[in-house]
Structure 1
Amino acid sequence: MEKRRALPQNKGLDRLSKNTPLDLNLLELTHAITQRQCTARELAEASLSRIEELDHGLHAFCTLDDTALEQADETDRRLSAGLPVGPLAGVPVAVKDLICTRGMRTTFGSRLYADFVPEQDDIVVERLRKAGATIIGKTNTSEFGYGGVGHNHVFPTTRNPWNVALTPGGSSAGSAVAVSTGMVPLALGSDGGGSIRIPASLCGVFGMKPSWGRVPLYPSCRDPRYPGQSGWESLEHIGPLTRNATDAALALSVISGPSAYDRHSVPSESGDWVLSSLDAMASIRIAFTGDLGFAIVDPEVRSVFEQAVARLRTVISHVEAAYPAVGNTEGLLDTLVALETDRVGLKAMTAEQGIELDGWIGSILERTWTGDQFTAAIMERKRIANLTADFMRDFDFLLTPATASAAFPIDTYGPDKIAEQILPPSSWVPFSALANFTGLPAASVPIGYTQDGRPIGLQIMGRHLDDKGVLSLCAIVEKLFAQDRRSTPSV
């Protein structure tokens, strides 16, 4: 097994050097690399330096890849020799610790896999390597992705760069923080109920859950050899976290497309990921809802959301208040996750290793489930999918807040109150699971801040397989709010 470098200790958040090549967007970065305006090694060194300066206080990364500079050198060697390089040549990329990386420790955020080193890359990592990306390291996550925050018992809890006393959300916590602080311009996350979009919203970055099957997953949630990791099969998606929608489109152009190892993967309609202009989107029909008819939403979040809808109405003619009446789906998500969790395998592992699992996954193992409960959940999901499909015949997009609350204190599972009401801890994420139940593409795009500076995201959900449409509308929103964007306090 190759040795991997531990995270370096650094000297504080205030020493970050500014205006490095990492501040460019992905197209600018790849142009700079291929035109030899900077080298892939310089870019990798800039990324590692920024991690060294910042990450001791944020814990975005759990493992760094000590072959990162070698990967970058190989890109530079190919360029010097006039050999072809991929569309992400030299781009530093972070990979969530739920996604397998060959030869590099992958813990899934669990003590059960604390020393696990995969023998193969996940399909998406393999495609990133072929595209010339430099894999910098693995980012922190909640245990097996079970939870909307970044807690686990293997590594320190990831912190929000806007306020280190607050959660960055989860479960793709480290990936969102790595992009928000500019440690990397691109990170991979996974999303079974909002785990890309939730931290993207709380950290003020762009996060995309593509259509189900758009990006193939393997081993990921498809390999029964890994209890815990092998759950969520009909809910899970892998997607990019970036600074903007255009960067995400480039990333998706690399990692999407069918694979024989994922029977659910869908063919590519085309290789065109160039986003549509506002003129081309002039006739779209947008529905919006601040609460989906049931959610309790923080007044500041609702106000920023309503302002975003009003601003969007200045450029899009048909924007209408409407929503599919699916109701509160929190219990449904819990049951479907339990159905797809290898409870037998996990119980055997925990007994063998003497490790007790807690939190959401612990509760799933402790409860007694019945076949009737699982059947009822499957039927309810069908009802929701059909109702949503009917609704989306009349609308191209559905807009909601990404979350019902902005970031809240670290090491908790939800805010104490929302709109002065005491609610269950998971009530702050009522909007995201719908896109997982239906497989529809959805993204979180930054639209504003609370009065005390916590980021707020807008969720845009599109029609079946209209990933490009979602990205295009997100890019329009980004232009509308470009002057409002801020850098994280730690950058």
Structure 2
Amino acid sequence: MTLVPPSPAHPTGRTGTELTALPATVLARLIRDREVSAAEVTAAALDRVRVLDGDLHAFVELTAAEARSRAAEIDAALARGEEVGVLAGVPVAIKDLIATRGIPTRSGSPAYATFVPDEDDIVVERLRAADAVILGKTTVPELGFSAVAQNPVSPTARNPWDPTRTPGGSSAGSGVAVATGMAPLALGSDGGGSVRIPASLCGVYGLKASMGRVPLYPGCRDERYPGMSSWESLEHIGPMTRTVDDAALLMSVIAGPDPRDRHSIPTADVDWLATTVGPDLTGLRVAYTADFGYLPVDPAVRRVVDAAARVFADRLGCAVEEVDPGFTDPQAHFWAMVLNDSDLDGMRAMVAEHGTRMSPHLVELVMRPWTAEDFSRAQTARKRLVNQMWRFMSDYDLLLTPTLAVPAFPIGFQGPDLIDDRLTSPGSWLGFLNPFNMTGQPAASVPAGFTEHGLPVGLQIVGRHLADASVLTASAAFEAAAPWASAWPACVDAAPAIGEA
């Protein structure tokens, strides 16, 4: 195995030489320059999966033979002097809610246990066209209707920083894969925080771009597939990576309009690769709230995020103001919005056929006696929030919050019952996230530090409507001031070096 020397600009973890520790931007350059082969990079990733995933369960479907074959094709094209796509043989993991032609997409549900899509999701089409190497599909809760990692048809994904705890969801396996170097790039989807939750709990970067930047189809939009066709007005597909540069690279591939998505929007106002170059935040007006004025927050999370917010003031030249935004808590209406986006008749028929094997919380949600008034109140609450948000953001360039109110908690729970010694309402630990699915604003989770028990904590960076470039630039500036990519879970430190396993 050829070992790649470390780049001083990119800390590479335990040995400084492992291919699995290098950012995607570096790997793509090395492969394109034929300093390392796509086959070697793919073999290293698959080796890392083999060593670690028996305990962590990031993947539900590994496409090893296809990945090796695609890597060999890319190497052969380079040997012939041909141009290859911008991802140039870089391995990518894909969330198992995102359709992959010819590869099972079970979505964590017995209703789709044998489902193999006949077409790729738009983002997968674009990955293939950019010469990415698809490693396989990653673990999700059933149909994405949960913020943790368990489902009825595959083993529960585990947090690499403490395998007794959840990595979050619903992009659970994608977060685990990136955090451990099984894949340098992963796709997640975020209808209520599902990219940002595992990004925070696993200590990686996760971006939910503005609504419509990344088009969706068949996911959320193909009426043939109840459950999979849910979340249409809330869902965003986004990158999960170890560096902000890598997220910008992946966005340059997957963003852009498509006629199959009626919500898709142009991206000519964003040069994704330029957003992270020489980031300068001097003079930006930044709002910071630790609790939205109504959310209980774990004291350990508050300490880490308070310190991260001070970085923007003390080191990045921002004018930071701690605020109570005065929002009306929309949590009580969130699931009505989701079900209003769903084929409720189809999902109830699915429950009638498979309900004894489905997740109990999902069955309860689908069978709840929803009314037209429930859906109407939810839409009114959404309009109120959007209006409160644009008025608030007119005074600020960015909003900072904790990503989550808690660090990772033990597997087996849908969420903690207590936060800061106070009883919580269901979902309140997620209360910083789904408001920005309702408004469609860009939001990212950046690694902000660790609790005293060594659990990652995320800082959420939110931009104005369509201000994706501001969020990426702010993320890159924070990363430069408080770098995180050299931090690896102990399970990676304990793993054999490439070629020794």
Q: Render the CA deviation track for 1:117-162: whole Å, top value 9, x for unaligned.
A: 0011000001000001000000000111101101100100000000
Q: CA separation of 1:18/1:28 partners in 2, compared to 1, >3 Å: closer, same or farther? A: closer
Q: Secondary structure at the match of 1:302?
A: helix
The residue type paired with residue 447 of structure 1 is: A
Q: CA separation of 1:469/1:39 partners in 2, compared to 1, >3 Å: closer, same or farther? A: same
Q: Render the CA deviation track for 1:255-307: whole Å, top value 9, x for unaligned.
A: 00000100100011256221256664212111010000100000010011111
Whether the 8 Å CA contact 2:291–2:401 is kept in 1: the answer is yes
Which TM-score applies when normalising by structure 1?
0.94
Cα distance, 1:323 vs. partner? 4.3
Q: Say which is worse superposed, 353-362 or 450-459, in terms of deviation.
A: 353-362
Distance 1:98 1:50 in 2: 23
Cα distance, 1:324 vs. partner? 3.0
Q: Which residue of 2 aligns with 1:457?
A: 458
Q: Which residue of 2 aligns with 1:117?
A: 116
Q: Secondary structure at the match of 2:337?
A: helix
- Give unmatched runs, 5+ long, in structure 2: 1-13, 493-501
Q: Render the CA deviation track for 1:237-260: whole Å, top value 9, x for unaligned.
A: 000000011110010000000001
Q: Which residue of 1 aligns with 2:145?
A: 146
Distance 2:41 2:202 in 1: 23
Whether the 8 Å CA contact 1:292–1:327 is kept in 2: the answer is no
Distance 2:133 2:169 in 1: 24
Cα distance, 1:426 vs. partner? 2.0
Cα distance, 1:425 vs. partner? 4.3
The residue type paired with residue 490 of structure 1 is: C
Q: Which residue of 2 aligns with 1:275?
A: 275
**Which residues in structure 2 correspond to 1:78-93 (within 5 Å)?**
78-93=77-92
The residue type paired with residue 490 of structure 2 is: P
Q: Which residue of 2 aligns with 1:52?
A: 50
Q: Which residue of 2 aligns with 1:12?
A: none
Distance 2:264 2:138 in 1: 25
Cα distance, 1:327 vs. partner? 2.6
Q: How many residues align?
A: 476
Whether the 8 Å CA contact 2:101–2:118 is kept in 1: the answer is yes
Distance 1:477 1:485 in 2: 15
Q: Render the CA deviation track for 1:82-104: whole Å, top value 9, x for unaligned.
A: 12211001000000000000000
**Which residues in structure 2 correspond to 1:249-288 (within 5 Å)?**
249-270=248-269, 272-273=271-272, 274-275=274-275, 280-288=280-288
**Would you say 1:97 and 2:96 are equivalent positions?**
yes
Q: Which residue of 2 aligns with 1:292?
A: 292
Q: Which residue of 2 aligns with 1:27?
A: 25
**Would you say 1:311 and 2:316 are equivalent positions?**
no
Q: Which residue of 1 aligns with 2:416?
A: 415
Q: Secondary structure at the match of 2:161?
A: coil
Whether the 8 Å CA contact 2:286–2:318 is kept in 1: the answer is no
Q: Secondary structure at the match of 1:112?
A: helix
Distance 1:21 1:421 in 2: 45
Which TM-score applies when normalising by structure 2?
0.92
Q: Render the CA deviation track for 1:5-37: whole Å, top value 9, x for unaligned.
A: xxxxxxxxxxx9873222221221111001101
Distance 2:357 2:195 in 1: 27
Q: CA separation of 1:338/1:93 partners in 2, compared to 1, >3 Å: closer, same or farther? A: same
Cα distance, 1:353 vs. partner? 4.7
Q: CA separation of 1:279/1:362 partners in 2, compared to 1, >3 Å: closer, same or farther? A: closer
Q: CA separation of 1:359/1:192 partners in 2, compared to 1, >3 Å: closer, same or farther? A: farther
Distance 1:142 1:343 in 2: 19
Distance 2:258 2:27 in 1: 28
Q: Which residue of 1 aligns with 2:439?
A: 438
Q: Secondary structure at the match of 1:458?
A: strand
Q: Say which is worse superposed, 330-339 or 189-198, in terms of deviation.
A: 330-339
Q: Secondary structure at the match of 1:451?
A: coil
Whether the 8 Å CA contact 1:111–1:355 is kept in 2: the answer is no
Distance 1:288 1:404 in 2: 15
Distance 1:34 1:353 in 2: 48
The Cα RMSD (Å) is 1.6
Whether the 8 Å CA contact 2:242–2:485 is kept in 1: the answer is no
The residue type paired with residue 259 of structure 1 is: D
Distance 2:304 2:137 in 1: 33
Q: Secondary structure at the match of 2:491?
A: coil
Q: Which residue of 1 aligns with 2:197?
A: 198
Distance 2:106 2:221 in 1: 17
Distance 1:266 1:236 in 2: 14
Q: Secondary structure at the match of 2:55?
A: coil
Q: Which residue of 1 aligns with 2:5?
A: none
Whether the 8 Å CA contact 1:287–1:323 is kept in 2: the answer is no
Q: Which residue of 2 aligns with 1:156?
A: 155
Q: Render the CA deviation track for 1:168-222: whole Å, top value 9, x for unaligned.
A: 0111000000000000000000000000001100000000011000000000001
Q: Say which is worse superposed, 361-370 or 102-111, in terms of deviation.
A: 361-370
Q: Say which is worse superposed, 415-424 or 177-186, in terms of deviation.
A: 415-424
Distance 2:299 2:358 in 1: 36
Q: Secondary structure at the match of 2:54?
A: coil
Distance 1:400 1:195 in 2: 16
Cα distance, 1:334 vs. partner? 1.4
Q: Which residue of 1 aligns with 2:333?
A: 332
Whether the 8 Å CA contact 2:280–2:473 is kept in 1: the answer is no
Q: Say which is worse superposed, 237-246 or 281-290, in terms of deviation.
A: 281-290
Distance 2:327 2:102 in 1: 44
Distance 1:372 1:106 in 2: 34
Q: Which residue of 2 aligns with 1:424?
A: 425
Distance 2:275 2:255 in 1: 16
Distance 2:405 2:360 in 1: 21
The residue type paired with residue 442 of structure 1 is: A
- Give unmatched runs, 5+ long, in structure 1: 1-15
Q: Which residue of 2 aligns with 1:136?
A: 135
Q: Secondary structure at the match of 1:63?
A: strand
Same amino acid, percent of matched pairs:
49
Cα distance, 1:105 vs. partner? 0.5
